[in-house]
Amino acid sequence: MARNEEFMIILNQVKRNILADMDMGLESPFMPDLLKGQRETVAIRAGSLDELEILIGDCKRCKLHSGRTRLVFGEGDPKARLLFIGEGPGRDEDVEGKPFVGEAGRLLTRIIESGMGLKRGDVYICNVVKCRPPDNRTPERDETEACIPFLREQIRIIEPAVICTLGRTSAQELLGREFKITEERGKWRSFMGIPVMPTYHPAYIVRNPSRERELKGQVWADVQKIMTRLGLEVKK
């Protein structure tokens, strides 16, 4: 990688971390005006999720558009108290145009319905990137940067009481690149003033059958914290 390319990536990272701190109500130590200006240039505003979906349109803002079948905007109750955020659509989601409908999605649905006693339609589910990365690879920085204004606007419009990030990518997008999922999941954090519970991605459980019990137990512990916060009855 060229040195100036590396420098730009680091600089962008510093900027994103400062913006994430500002989201949590912390003062930026430097360049607050410059950063505020930058925020405005990427901010997207819509009056509703439907309007936002029209704004995203036939999106070609990053290279992921060329490999997608369907853009996966998100689905659920636009006034949901709980918002789940995954990484990006997989194969099934890309075909159906809906988030979390494959094997990992079925596990997430079981967590919501059998575990939490809610209906899938009671919550809102979306992803950091709205188009499938090739071979389900992790989305790249330029891809998440192109898509994040839409996620931020989804959060602003839905105004959930709790956000649950699923896996490392969505946690790092909201909470900063240094976030370590194995060490820091299960602890309350905050984004845009909203409590965030980071937990494992259901696909991580599906991919690790030998640790299924342990991982499910950890996710269930995190989900119980969300339930308590939302005033839902936790059945022991």
Q: Which residues are at the interface with ligand URA (CB under 6 A)?
A: 86-90, 93, 99-100, 102, 104-105, 127, 203
Q: How many helices (H) and strands (E) does the chain have?
A: 10, 6
Q: Which residue number is nearest to ligand URA in terms of Cβ?
A: 86
Which is nearer to ligand URA, 99 or 198 (by Cβ)? 99
CA-based nearest residue to 170, from 139, 207, 134, 215: 139
Bridge-based pairing of strands 124-127 and 75-76 is antiparallel
Which is nearer to ligand URA, 89 or 160 (by Cβ)? 89
Residue 36 beta carbon to ligand URA: minimum distance, rounded to whole angstroms: 31
Residue 88 beta carbon to ligand URA: minimum distance, rounded to whole angstroms: 6
Which is nearer to ligand URA, 86 or 160 (by Cβ)? 86
Residue 72 beta carbon to ligand URA: minimum distance, rounded to whole angstroms: 6
Bridge-based pairing of strands 189-191 and 124-127 is unpaired
DSSP string spanning 105-156? HHHHHHIIIIIT---GGGSEEEESSSSPPGGGPPPPHHHHHHHHHHHHHHHH
Residue 201 beta carbon to ligand URA: minimum distance, rounded to whole angstroms: 6
Which is nearer to ligand URA, 131 or 157 (by Cβ)? 131
Three-class secondary structure of residue 162 per DSSP: strand
Which is nearer to ligand URA, 18 or 102 (by Cβ)? 102
Other Cβ atoms closer than 10 A to 203:
21
Which is nearer to ligand URA, 23 or 87 (by Cβ)? 87
25 burial level (CB within 10 Å; 0-12, 13-18, 19+):
exposed
Residue 35 beta carbon to ligand URA: minimum distance, rounded to whole angstroms: 29
Which is nearer to ligand URA, 105 or 160 (by Cβ)? 105
Q: What whole-number distance in Å separates Cα of residue 148 and Cα of residue 42?
A: 9
Q: What whole-number distance in Å separates Cα of residue 182 and Cα of residue 188?
A: 14
Residue 60 beta carbon to ligand URA: minimum distance, rounded to whole angstroms: 21
Residue 25 beta carbon to ligand URA: minimum distance, rounded to whole angstroms: 28
